[in-house]
Amino acid sequence: MFSFDHLQFRYEPFPIGVAAPLMEEGVYREFVAGYPGLDRFADLSEVGYKYSLSEKNNPRVYHQLVRSRPVWREFHQWVKSDAFVQTVLDALKERHLDLGYPMLSPGRRLVRRLTKLVKGHPCDTSRRLGARFEFSMLPVDGGHVLPHTDSPGKIVTLIVSILEDGEWDPAFGGGTDMNRLRDPRYSFNRLNRQGRFEDMEVIDTYDFRPNQAVMFVRTFNSWHSVRPMQGKGSPAMRRTLTINIEERH
């Protein structure tokens, strides 16, 4: 579903890049048309002014939606597959970002697990990767996500923009900011404490545009955020699919 042929990275202070166009136009239009309404979302105010629909936030409605809509059912199956994870890892490796996670087919994982059991090991302790996605919305009237680096288990994040051509006013803002702490003593953030906007220097901003993915590798200093948007009085929403690749044990 995704093409990373045009994915380009910058590498300092952490790896972040943009892939655009991300999908064939017809596929992208299906994503835009099938995006769920706000009434299905949970309030995620602990991270800013944000709404989420995911495996963790309003999960019953999320799974019902995924099962009932072919576009999301197929997308969910693909994101959950080893093939999706491998595609992202390969795209990163081609751009000098080898994360060191060997992929095992399901058959080889089973053989490895059984071998360890026979040898007396209680379980397969090798690191595995899995993926999940959430529907995420930020109101353009003040919506924001506080500076953070992502939780320790996350490895790669993709932020996929979902919007119609011409519906977005750049004056709203809504870009993904790449940040650096003004005080370097607090740059190290392995445990993902939240930061404050006033403590951040914005190094770069990845504008919110249709049919693109902002992709970054989670590091100890991968500070990113969305600053409060400026669409005062507007009912518009910044809609995204946020995909996380993370360690599974």
Q: pLDDT tens digits for 41-80?
A: 999 999 999 999 999 999 999 999 999 999 999 999 999 9
182 burial via Cβ count (<10 Å: 0-12, 13-18, 19+): exposed
Token pair for 122: 């209680």
- Tens of pLDDT along 172-213? 999 999 999 999 999 999 999 999 999 999 999 999 999 999
Residue 214's nearest CA partner among 145, 143, 141 is 145
Token pair for 103: 């992929």
Per-residue pLDDT for 115 more than 60? Answer: no
- Cα 31 to Cα 79: distance, rounded to the nearest angstrom: 14
pLDDT at 102: 82
Q: For the chain, give every domain's residue range.
A: 8-81+133-248
- Cα 58 to Cα 52: distance, rounded to the nearest angstrom: 8
- Tens of pLDDT along 152-164? 999 999 999 999 8
- In the block, tokens 């995909």 appear at 243
- Tens of pLDDT along 20-31? 999 999 999 999
Per-residue pLDDT for 108 more than 70? Answer: no
List helix spans (H) across 43-136.
59-68, 70-79, 82-93, 106-118
Reported as a pLDDT band with limits 50, 70 and 90, residue 111 is very low
| Identity of residue 75 | F
Residue 57 in contact with residue 134, Cβ under 8 Å? yes
- Degrees to nearest 5, angle at CA 103 with 98 and 107: 175
**Host H or E run for residue 31:** helix 25-34
Single pTM value for the model: 0.90
Token pair for 189: 């953030």
Per-residue pLDDT for 118 more than 90? Answer: no
Residues in the chain: 249
- Cα 120 to Cα 166: distance, rounded to the nearest angstrom: 61
- Cα 144 to Cα 220: distance, rounded to the nearest angstrom: 22
Of residues 165 and 145, the one with the higher pLDDT is: 145
For the chain, what is the largest distance between any 2 Cα atoms, rounded to a whole number of angstroms?
65
From 34-43, 95-104, 227-236, the region with the lowest mean pLDDT: 95-104
Task: Identify the CATH assignment for 8-81+133-248 out of 3.40.50.2300, 3.40.50.10490, 3.40.50.300, 2.60.120.620.
Answer: 2.60.120.620
* Average predicted confidence (pLDDT) for the chain: 92
Residue 215 in contact with residue 2, Cβ under 8 Å? no
